[in-house]
Amino acid sequence: MKQSADLKVFISSRDSTCDECGENLGRSAWITLVEDKGALCLSCADLEHLVFLPSGNAALTRRAKKHSILSAVVLRWSKARKRYERQGLLVEEQGLAQAEQECLADSDARERRRERESARREELDREYVDQFAQRIRALFPGCPPGREVVIAEHACLKYSGRVGRSAAAKNLDEEVIRLAIMAHIRHAETNYDRLLARGYNRRDARAEVEADVYKTLARWEISAS
Ligand SMILES: [Zn+2]
């Protein structure tokens, strides 16, 4: 088992396409590189739930990394200097929140948090999120209260960043809902992120947690009452 070198995310400098889902990601897309596959979008790489923390605050960065099971270094190629330069870290939302708690003495942290949250809210299409959440609730009545909103917001951010929502995503097809829920369960209810952080490749990590994902999915499909 490969010991965990930091995962790396590259901000591309040309037009790129994800080799897994085939989506055109446009210019300066955020991608990961996989040995036998080429470029992957963050969604396919299962890193999309992470939030970006720009470089600049060493204490916050160190703590956010410590409190995140999964994190990735974000790099951009500098033409002038002919080398990759670190832009910041992708970390877990809750890891960042905890780090900010610890840095509260530093009042900047609070200000930055407010800015990040409002930027994120602006990006969300509230109506789509509500509809998405309602569909989740209808199809998966056993889903823990409140989770449907978390899942719907992630899905909304994902599709809003793309060239356009696919028809399936627009119509909230059952398959789109199911994939969003499975991705959430993988991250939130299984060991998956821990395995990625340890250096497992995605295929092995997915195989390892697959049974757990389906078990939870089946539980959520049944009404709690
Ligand atoms: Zn993709």
The model's pTM is 0.71
User: What pLDDT is stored for residue 2 in this prediction?
Assistant: 44
CB 75 within 8 A of CB 84: yes
Q: Cα of 12 to ligand 1 centre, how many Å?
A: 14
What pLDDT score does 158 carry?
67
Q: What's residue 91's pLDDT?
A: 96
Burial category of 222 from C-beta neighbours within 10 Å (exposed 0-12, middle 13-18, buried 19 and up): exposed
**Measured CA distances, 127 to 46, 124, 130, 132 (Å):** 25, 9, 5, 9
CA of 111 from ligand 1 middle (Å) equals: 33
144 CA → ligand 1 middle, Å = 28
User: 24 alpha carbon to ligand 1 midpoint, in Å?
Assistant: 9
Kindly give the residue spans of alpha helices, DSSP state H, lying in 68-125: 93-102, 107-123
The pLDDT assigned to 166 comes to 67
Alpha carbons 62 and 64: distance in angstroms, whole number: 6
Question: Residue 102 Cα, ligand 1 centroid: separation in angstroms?
Answer: 35
What pLDDT is attached to residue 155? Answer: 82
How far, in Å, is the centroid of ligand 1 from the Cα of 157?
A: 14
How many Å lie between the centroid of ligand 1 and the Cα of residue 100? Answer: 31
Compute the distance from residue 17 Cα to the ligand 1 centre, in Å. Answer: 8
Each residue's pLDDT tens digit in the chain (225 positions)? 444 578 999 998 888 899 988 888 888 889 998 777 789 999 889 898 899 999 998 989 999 999 999 999 999 989 899 999 999 999 998 999 899 888 876 666 677 777 877 777 777 788 888 999 999 999 999 999 999 999 998 888 766 554 445 666 777 888 889 989 999 999 999 999 999 999 898 899 999 999 999 999 999 998 755
Alpha carbon of 49 to ligand 1 centroid (Å): 14
**CA 158 to ligand 1 centroid distance, Å:** 11
* Cα of 1 from ligand 1 centre, angstroms: 26
Please give the distance, rounded to the nearest whole angstrom, from the Cα atom of residue 32 to the centre of ligand 1: 10
Q: What are phi and psi of 132, to 5 degrees?
A: -60, -45
pLDDT at 28: 84
Predicted confidence at residue 39, as pLDDT, reads: 92
User: Rounded CA gap, 84 and 99, in Å?
Assistant: 26
Q: Contact at 8 Å (CB) between 53 and 64?
A: yes
Measured CA distances, 107 to 103, 110, 117, 137, 205 (Å): 8, 5, 16, 39, 39
CA–centroid distance, 7 to ligand 1, in Å, is: 17
3-state secondary structure at position 80: coil
